[in-house]
Amino acid sequence: MTFNAKPIVSARQRQVQFDFSMLSLPILRRCALSHCRYSVPATTPICLDFLVPSTSKHGQCRQASTTASTSGAFKPLYVLSKEQREFMDSALRVNQAGELAATLIYKAQTPQIVRSYPHLRPLMKHMYDQEAGHLKTFNHLIAKHQIRPTAMYPAWEVAATFLGWSTAALGREAAMACTEAVETEIGSHYNDQVREILSWEADAKRRGEELDEELKEMLATFRRIRDEELEHLDHAVANDSKEAKPYDPLVDVIRLGCRTAIKISEKI
């Protein structure tokens, strides 16, 4: 199985006029929302190739492992439990919703920020482009595996747009404090997902089994996106996020909102 995530677009030179490539966002949003209209019955199991237990496939792997035991070239595949499959279902649903919110926050912040601080134009575009790439990745995974997106899309769209606009209106420091708060929670959330999959990998090794290649690729994708989110956090701190007034109440409220949105999107 292959994973077709495209490489992340880097920031262009400062001299290049910001062409507001954010206009590609409606395309991404229409793609995401088209998946929302795809209705999957609640009783339908998750259609992830590497998650659905297959007796014949698993048996073939075991047979191959037995016949090649002398060389150790083959191992049986680790088959996820129902609870583990449900974890992956909610993880992909939450990640898609979170990346949509991130693109909307940056889109709402950027016009006000770059008007007052032109030197931040390349940074804002760089962070937006990375978030748009993340959203494209999860749109692809949601569609490929027929996972139901969150039903909270309309609410998250309004909330994210308002959060981006309002923090930018408060100034550069408040906008960066927003980024710090959001990326702190999102980075922690991706970390939890990475740890969970690593625990499955350790369990597979104890059994003499191995994870499916697609699940390994998904683990690598989660790690890469987590690191890019934490890079955004570092950029925010470097641009005086902690100078926002009032810093603590602003960051605490945003972090609480992120945690609440994550919990809701996991279930709904």
- Cα angle value 43/93/265 (rounded, 5°): 90
Identify whether 237 is part of a domain: yes
What are residue 210's DSSP bridge partners? 77
Residue 9 lies in a domain: no
**What is the arithmetic mean of pLDDT over 125-151?**
88
Which pTM was predicted? 0.68
250 is written with which tokens? 């602003």
User: How many domains would you assign to the chain?
Assistant: 1
Residue 2 lies in a domain: no
Contact 167, 59 (CB under 8 A): no
Please report whether residue 10 resides in a domain.
Answer: no
Binding-site residue ranges for Fe cation: 99, 131, 134, 183, 229, 232
Residues 6+ apart with CB under 8 A from 154: none
Q: Does any domain span residue 22?
A: no
Q: Is residue 26 part of a domain?
A: no
Handedness of CA 75, 76, 80, 81 (dihedral sign): negative
* Beta carbons of 241 and 180 less than 8 angstroms apart: yes
Range 157-171 average pLDDT: 91
Q: What does the pLDDT average to over 26-39?
A: 48
pLDDT at 106: 92
Residue 97 counted as domain residue: yes
What range does the domain containing 137 cover? Answer: 31-267
> Is pLDDT at 127 greater than 70 in this prediction?
yes
What's the CA gap between 170 and 180, in Å, rounded?
15
Q: Is residue 7 part of a domain?
A: no
Binding residues: 99, 131, 134, 183, 229, 232
Q: How far apart are CA 144 and CA 111, in angstroms?
A: 34
Do 53 and 79 touch, CB atoms closer than 8 A? yes
Asked if the model's pLDDT at residue 22 lies above 60, the reply is: no
200-257 per-position pLDDT tens digit: 888 888 888 888 888 888 899 999 999 999 889 988 998 888 888 888 899 999 999 8
